[in-house]
Structure 1
Amino acid sequence: MPIFILFDLSVLILLVILLSSSSSVPAIANEEGDALYALRRAVKDPNNVLHSWDPTLVDPCTWFLVTCDSANRVTRLDLGNAKLSGNLVPELGKLQHLQYLELYMNNLVGPIPKEVGGLKSLLSLDLYHNNLTGPIPSSLSTLSNLRFLRLNSNRLTGRIPRELSKLGNLKILNVSNNDLCGTIPTSGTFSKFTEESFINNPRLEGPELMGFVRYNAGGRN
């Protein structure tokens, strides 16, 4: 009898180990799926491009316009020019392995959630040509891997966070055609961008801006 009890106990332990190890990927998938479904509920989708975003499916990697890596973690959202309208959601910050957030040329409104600053793997943030309002979140300064930041042609207000000048990997920056105010940071990575990155912000003025424009304009002659 003790032998059988020992055998049953070892089988039980093995089952627990197998179940716990196999449940880690679905747990990630469920969290990411919940985040994506929160976005789906927050937007209007007249072309029904999000019809496959079914919360009853464990794996969001099967959803249209969602790309995942070999570990079934969401790495890319390709929702540019999808005719979406509505708000971005803070749940986007749960997509911890996201590298590309492409939501350009839609009709999105409201603020950029500060939680986007938690996407540590993000390489490209493309929100241009929407109707987003409010400030540029200073939390974006924590995106140390970010290479492309395009927020142009929205209705963003407030100052450009000086913390963004710390983004050493940033190759492309465009915040033109908004309603930003104050002055342009000229330190750090911002020193390599010309005024074309900032034009058509009527309230973006001051001595620092004027010096920036004169310097770059002179550099082209």
Structure 2
Amino acid sequence: MGFGTVLLFAFSITISAVNGNHEGDVLASWKTMLNDPNNVLQSWDPSLVNPCTWFHVTCNADNSVVRVDLGNAGLSGTLSPNLAQLSNLEYLEVYQNDLTGKIPPEFGNLTSLVSLDLYKNHFSGPIPHSLGNLKSLRYMRLNSNALTGDLPAQILELILWGHLQVLNVSDNSMTGRVPSTKSKRLAITTIIQDPKAS
């Protein structure tokens, strides 16, 4: 094996480790924003090469985070906008906690996201229009929060032009109604909203 090959191999390992460290830094920074009475995040050690060995984190073959599973974990605090830097994230599961604050508009950059489950928390404010950028999204469950405003048209377009199959915004304080349509695409999509939204 020539010196150039060894150097290239060492460089590729360094790049992989830097990427892993960056994602670990993002998650470790979010951990500092959370109250974790059940110590579910105890394994989140930022000194490790990457977060792929942490509980509640799943990585792909390239050691990049693709899934964060923290449903029903007893967490309180807020969502970090920096989570949008997890460019390969496919599943963000933080349902049934005591999380508060707004849904970060930066989440519109998570273009690999397949499932966004934020239900049964205390999120407030409007649903960001930027979530309409998530063309790979199949499941968006935001029910049982304190969200306000209209359902953005950009999110409804995910049903027509994206892959969105389940959209649940019920049990919030939202206004407006989803317009009726004869689109076959909408016919196979489940939209759950409050029946008397005004």
Work out which of the residue numbers 35, 46, 53 in structure 1 matches 2:44. 53
Residue of structure 2 equivalent to 1:18: 9
Q: Secondary structure at the match of 1:156?
A: strand
In structure 1, which of residues 74, 79, 86 is the aligned counterpart of residue 65 of structure 2?
74
Q: Give the C-alpha shift of residue 94 in structure 1.
A: 0.8
Runs of 4 or more above 6 Å deviation:
none
Structure 1 contact 152–178 (Cα < 8 Å) conserved: yes
For 1:7-156, list aligned pairs within 5 A: 11=3, 13-14=4-5, 16-156=7-147
Which runs of no fewer than 5 residues in structure 2 stay unpaired? none
Q: Is the 8 A contact 2:111 2:133 kept in 1?
A: yes
Deviation at 1:14, TM superposition (A): 5.0
- Residue number in structure 2 paired with 1:198: 193
Give the AA of the match of 1:102. E
Shift in Å, 1:17: 2.5
Pair 1:165 & 2:156 matched: yes
Identity %: 47
Assess, with a 3 A threshold, how the Cα gap between structure 1 residues 131 and 189 changes in structure 2: closer, same or farther.
Answer: farther
Unaligned runs of 5+ in 1: 1-9, 206-221
Paired letter, 1:179 = S
SS of the residue 2:132 aligns to:
helix
Q: Which has the higher contact order (CA 8 A, sep 6+)?
A: 2
Q: Which amino acid aligns with 2:124?
A: T
Report the secondary structure of 1:23's partner residue. helix
Question: Counterpart of 2:174?
Answer: 180
**Residue type of the partner of 2:194?**
I
In the other structure, the counterpart of 1:4 is none
AA paired with 2:40? V
Q: Counterpart of 1:208?
A: none
Larger-gyration structure (1/2): 1
Give the Cα–Cα distance (whole angstroms) in 1 for the partners of residues 184 and 121 of structure 2: 26
1:102/1:127 contact within 8 Å kept: yes
Q: How many aligned residue pairs are there?
A: 192
Amino acid at match of 1:198: Q
Asked if the contact 1:53/1:63 (under 8 Å) is kept, the reply is: yes
CA 1:72–1:194: 2 relative to 1, 3 Å: closer
The alpha-carbon deviation at position 184 of structure 1 amounts to: 2.3
Secondary structure, in 3 states, of the residue corresponding to 2:155? helix
RMSD: 2.0
Question: Judging changes above 3 Å, is the alpha-carbon distance between structure 1 residues 36 and 76 closer, same or farther for their aligned structure 2 residues?
Answer: same
Partner AA of 1:29 in structure 2: G
SS at match of 2:32: helix
